[in-house]
Structure 1
Amino acid sequence: MASRTRQAVLTLLPVLALAATATACATKVNTGSQDSGSGVPLIKPGKIVTCTHLSYKPFQFSEGDKTVGFDVDLVDLVAKDLGVTQEIFDTPFETITSGEAFNTSKCDVAAAGMTINDTRKQAIDFSDPYFDASQALLVKKDSTYKGLEDLKGKKVGVQQDTVGEEYANAHSAEFGYTVIQFEDLPLMETAVRTGAVDAAVNDNGVLLDYAKDYPDTAVPKEFDTGDKYGIGMKKGSTTLLTKVNEVLKKAKDSGDYDKIYEKWFGKKPEKK
């Protein structure tokens, strides 16, 4: 009996040693989080990585080899406060709203002209609202379409996974038009100019900016939907959320927000 027990113990020793080694190693697994020095965990040292879906001018778009825009400038304020620099990661919009981009450590925050709503709040956390928006209609300037009620039997373009898509779908049966989905904003806008669709619905900020750049288009109607944009992040990112909200409030109190707004929209925001 004693010899068998001794043999069993000797047999178990390598196994126990291996288990101990594995346990020790497990405590050293790199989760991909880095501390910026401010107590805010980030996925890359010295960077705050921002997910967006290009192009969404004037909120974020390419200018030469840089990504610029209203949202970019706002997140730069967060980066400056944290003592890091901003890095942009372009990804399909649905990977942001579903939370996938955060859950796979692609980015720390998302700034993509993104409306806060209950469905998205189930998948990601949002900052305090930083921009008031509404939906709008884009048409050719010489068209007779003044609203959705004029588009019976016509094609209305939308961008995939946006509030504009939801709004257009919600009224399609009432007004008798067909909704045509596009993967991104530029494809949708171009479709209006080429006649591939008769009109399109999206956020007023981007459509008004487009009509300014392309005067053969117009925005005859805006729909007061009460949309508010927020900066998104992974669920449970308490310290990052606190920091982003703190920076947004500071920017509004100091006047920096108004300067950035005027830079991209040509006027100061309306005070409410």
Structure 2
Amino acid sequence: MKKFIRILGLVLTLLTLTVVASACGHKPLSQRNVLQTDRQDKTITWGVKADTRLFGLLDTKDNQIKGFEVDLATALTKQMLGKDAKAKFIQVTSSTRMPMLKNGNIDAIIATMTNTPERRKQVDFSKTYFFAGQSLLVKKGSRIKNVKDLNKQKGTVLGVVGSDSVQNVAKVAPDAKVLQLTDYAQAMTALKSGQGQALTTDNGILYGMSVQNPGYEVTGGTFVSEPYGIAIDKNQEPFKASVNKALTQLRENGEYDKILHKWFHNVKGFDYKEAAKE
């Protein structure tokens, strides 16, 4: 009888916990309605880069992340939820952004993330908000003028873990060696120290590096198209539709062009028309 009472007590405890959890609205990540939750909180949590000049870079003076993607995410938040809504930013890297989205740490990724067929197996993407192309960053005077030179000379190309740039360059320059670093700051340091002859990623990111490092330049044109999209978890159609609608509205009312010009107006060789393609 005592054993029966103990078992009955355990069952009642489990039932109580289940009811409490349900009352608190706890749901599996797959069942969350991100847009509904964000509307209630008047906040959208974005995963952004903090090491990528022009797109998302941590300002050590005030400890704020600033850049084109940060401003665009802020504008999207207010367009989606109202002028009093807040955009919250959490730092991600190329290797951490997908797990953080899947774990529910962030609502969406706006972090120089290219919309690719492989990634679409795991997440959905918004419309393109920045049309980039993969290129090379080299020291001025380098013998590497394009990706073919990198292949001929069997040089070392630097990239970042979690980025598709390394895989892309391996296809067009199979004889080149590859060295992957954790983030772009480390990759730039490696380039300066001579660990590689070129650094490869999207030209928009490389332009930012060239602005910060005048002794280096973007070269060779683009050899792979890199359309950036906002990554959203699967089964979040209402949120995706709201993002796309807001993005279209920002393009139509001129806010998108204003933000783009703010961050790229002084970048030598930058093509506004190309970058703004949908």
Same-fold call, TM > 0.5? yes
In the TM superposition, what is the alpha-carbon distance from 1:172 to its structure 2 partner? 3.4
Q: Does 1:59 align with 2:62?
A: no
In the TM superposition, what is the alpha-carbon distance from 1:183 to its structure 2 partner? 1.0
Provide the C-alpha distance between the structure 2 equivalents of 1:197 and 1:10, rounded to a whole number of angstroms: 70
SS, match of residue 105 in structure 1:
coil
SS, match of residue 221 in structure 1:
strand
Provide the C-alpha distance between the structure 2 equivalents of 1:204 and 1:12, rounded to a whole number of angstroms: 64
Q: Percent identity, please.
A: 25
Provide the C-alpha distance between the structure 2 equivalents of 1:44 and 1:57, rounded to a whole number of angstroms: 33
Unaligned runs of 5+ in 1: 1-8
| Alignment size in residue pairs | 259
Per-residue Cα deviation, 1:98-132 (whole angstroms, up to 9, x for no partner): xx212322111111011001111111111111111
Contact 1:259/1:268 (8 A) holds in 2: no
Report the TM-score when normalising by structure 2: 0.82
Whichever of the two has the greater Rg, that structure is 1
The aligned residue for residue 269 of structure 1 is 272
The aligned residue for residue 69 of structure 2 is 71
Task: Give the aligned residue type for 2:20.
Answer: C
- Aligned residue runs from structure 1 range 203-242, under 5 A: 203-242=202-241
Unaligned runs of 5+ in 2: 29-33
The aligned residue for residue 183 of structure 1 is 182
Provide the C-alpha distance between the structure 2 equivalents of 1:181 and 1:10, rounded to a whole number of angstroms: 60
Contact 2:170/2:176 (8 A) holds in 1: no
SS, match of residue 95 in structure 2:
helix
Per-residue Cα deviation, 1:211-257 (whole angstroms, up to 9, x for no partner): 12322111121224222101112111122111111110000011111
Q: Does 1:93 align with 2:63?
A: no
- Summarize the Cα distance change of 1:20–1:150 in structure 2 as closer, same or farther, 3 Å threshold: closer
Contact 1:32/1:44 (8 A) holds in 2: no
Report the TM-score when normalising by structure 1: 0.84
Contact 1:41/1:240 (8 A) holds in 2: no
In the TM superposition, what is the alpha-carbon distance from 1:44 to its structure 2 partner? 8.9
Q: Does 1:157 align with 2:158?
A: yes
The aligned residue for residue 246 of structure 1 is 245
SS, match of residue 244 in structure 1:
helix
More divergent stretch after superposition (38-47 vs 235-244): 38-47
- Summarize the Cα distance change of 1:43–1:120 in structure 2 as closer, same or farther, 3 Å threshold: farther
More divergent stretch after superposition (61-70 vs 83-92): 83-92
Contact 2:148/2:173 (8 A) holds in 1: no
The aligned residue for residue 141 of structure 1 is 140
Provide the C-alpha distance between the structure 1 equivalents of 2:39 and 2:176, rounded to a whole number of angstroms: 45
Task: Give the aligned residue type for 1:74.
Answer: L
In the TM superposition, what is the alpha-carbon distance from 1:178 to its structure 2 partner? 0.6
- Summarize the Cα distance change of 1:10–1:146 in structure 2 as closer, same or farther, 3 Å threshold: closer
Task: Give the aligned residue type for 1:141.
Answer: K
Contact 2:53/2:67 (8 A) holds in 1: yes
Contact 1:158/1:202 (8 A) holds in 2: yes
The aligned residue for residue 171 of structure 1 is 172
